Amino acid sequence: MRLSRRRFMTLTGGFAALPSFSHLASAQTYPSRPVRIIVGYGPGGVADILARLLGQALSERLGQPFIVENRPGASTNLATEAVVRAPADGYTLLLVNLTNALNTTLYQDLRFDFTTDISPVAGIAQAPLVMAVNPSFPAKTVPEFIAYAKANPGKVTVAIAGVGSPPHIAEELFKIMAGVQLYEVPYSAGSAPALADLMAGRLDVTFDPLLSSIEYIRSGKLRALAVTTATRAEMLPNVPAVAEFIPDYEANTWVGIGAPKNTPTEIIDRLNKEINAALADPQMKSRLADLGASTFATPAAEFRTFIAKDTDKWAKVIRTAGIKLN
């Protein structure tokens, strides 16, 4: 039996439409089973808490468990690679953060490309670091600190809690933009030892997550000179932003959700919609504020653009500062 050209084109057109119809159908039924959120850190930290808060909200909204799976190691690279290799079906997600963007430049032998192998889904939260000194330190403001550091080049000590960590690159950006030299004191990852030395007067300054420092600041054991976000932080409204003295300085930490590349757009859009709805809940905003963070709700396309710009920004800082992993 011979088919007319019109009949043939109708049939082949229908076949061509099958993949998009399949994606649409899967998005309408998604999720039909549990979803994993892979976190590149151990249990109990801020990243883990954020993932669990979001997972609980998504479970309630979508009727399927969103299970947090901790895979610490290699500065989040183990978790990222696990998600890169997972099926692109929306059932394996990655808690993405600033460290992923930094690793793109810091590591030369990664078996994946974060910027192309992970599809950004939605932002969750942003949080500042805080530039803090011992109360006995001579400088009481950022301009005074810069003047003191320039008068004493290489003598002001600053904690480096992990080479290439967010606090480290925030400090490096400060040095570049302020034109100062600081003496870097290495610490293992984590804030506690550096903060103890800062309060004891054995260290001059830290750039530390706000949540780690805020109680010491409130109790007067540390003096906050500035926060690293573009504007003042809600938790420390009387503390200026570095940008008030160094225009365009900004060093946000951020967290979001990503998925393997080629995850259907319909599933990414569904997740983005539900995540943004969860972030709009006043109770979620309050919980994030308790963690020193603010909501970071964006469309998926805007989150992709944000990550690309942040990755490029910090690549330039890392190269200019000559930061290398041993």
pLDDT digits (tens, 9 = 90+) for 53-95: 999 999 999 999 999 999 999 999 999 999 999 999 999 999 9
Query: What does the longest C-alpha to C-alpha distance in the chain come to?
Result: 94
> Is 71 within 8 Å of 246 (Cβ atoms)?
no
- pLDDT number for residue 13: 54
What pLDDT is attached to residue 1?
A: 47
Domain range annotation of the chain: 32-127+252-321, 129-244
Query: What dotted CATH number matches 32-127+252-321?
Result: 3.40.190.150
Which residues are CB-neighbours of 247 under 8 A, at least 6 positions away? Answer: none
Q: Which CATH architecture has domain 129-244?
A: 3-Layer(aba) Sandwich (3.40)
Query: Could you give the dihedral angle defined by the CA atoms of residues 292, 288, 82 and 317, in that order, rounded to the nearest 10 degrees?
Result: -40
Q: pTM of the prediction? A: 0.89
The two domains 32-127+252-321 and 129-244 share their CATH topology (first three levels equal): yes
- What pLDDT, on a 0 to 100 scale, did the predictor assign at position 223? 97
The low-confidence residues of the chain, meaning pLDDT below 50, are: 1, 8-11
Q: Which residues contact 112 (CB under 8 A, 6 or more apart)?
A: 80, 81, 84
Angle between helices 265-279 and 282-290 (to 10 degrees): 80
